[in-house]
């Protein structure tokens, strides 16, 4: 080996050693930072935790589970119950006439609408009309569900 070669290897060894030391320092610093557990000072009493969870809980939870959405209008037994679906999804407006919604049972309000025919009623209930949101704002209802509820509403209003 020439002197140039051994110089080179000495320098290389030094550089590698320096990198090694640097590496160890970084590891130690990372361990120190991540082990700084700031939950240690938080209360661990399960009652306090439960109360805190209740305080920060959302008022309404978005439920994207289609099975749960279907269950909300489909009682045990599987059959779609148009009356409870109406009460749950449509009565908020159609029970009291909110926003000018035709009240269920108000024959005069329904006369012309019924005269326009079922397909017009179904179409407006499914796609919306004026202040009436599509499917009453309940996209989880199938078209057939909406038609069944419309039939229920119409039968009560003529
Ligand atoms: C946010 C209030 C609101 C909700 C909830 C609502 N509706 Fe309506 N609905 C209206 C209003 C307002 C009208 C009158 C629209 C118009 O004639 O311009 C209407 C009209 C209708 C009509 C008559 C459409 C026509 O052809 O004139 C039907 C049928 C109907 N709604 C069905 C439903 C059904 C079924 C539901 C539940 C799935 C529902 N609505 C939920 C507000 C509502």
Is ligand 1 within 6 A of the CB of residue 103? Answer: no
Q: 62: closest CA among 139, 3, 118?
A: 139
Phi, psi (rounded to 5 degrees) for 133: -70, 150
Verify whether ligand 1 is closer than 6 Å to residue 142 (CB atom): no
Count up the domains in the chain and report the number.
2
At 107, list the tokens.
Answer: 């024959």
The residues, ordered by sequence, that sit 6+ positions from 79 with a Cβ below 8 Å of its Cβ are: none
Q: Is the pLDDT of residue 158 over 70?
A: yes
Is-contact 140 80, C-beta < 8 A? no
Most confident region among 14-18, 30-34, 36-40, 60-64 by mean pLDDT: 14-18
Reported as a single tens digit per residue, the pLDDT across 90-123 is: 999 999 998 999 999 999 999 999 999 999 999 9
User: CATH number of the domain that 144 lies in?
Assistant: 1.10.760.10
pLDDT at 122: 97
pLDDT for the residue numbered 135: 95
Residue 14's domain spans which residues?
A: 1-33
């Amino acid at each position: 080996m020439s002197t140039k070669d051994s110089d080179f290897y000495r320098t290389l060894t030094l550089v590698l050693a320096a990198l090694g030391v640097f590496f160890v320092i970084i590891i130690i610093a990372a361990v120190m930072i991540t082990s700084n557990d700031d939950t240690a000072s938080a209360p661990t009493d399960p009652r306090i935790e439960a109360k805190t969870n209740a305080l920060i809980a959302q008022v309404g939870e978005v439920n994207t589970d289609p099975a749960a959405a279907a269950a909300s209008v489909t009682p045990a037994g599987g059959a779609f119950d148009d009356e409870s679906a109406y009460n749950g999804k449509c009565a908020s407006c159609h029970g009291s006439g909110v926003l000018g919604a035709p009240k269920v049972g108000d024959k005069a309000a329904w006369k012309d609408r019924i005269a326009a025919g079922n397909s017009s009623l179904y179409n407006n209930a499914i796609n919306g009309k004026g202040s009436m949101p599509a499917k009453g704002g309940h996209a989880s209802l199938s078209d057939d569900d909406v038609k069944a509820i419309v039939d229920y509403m119409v039968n009560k209003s003529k």
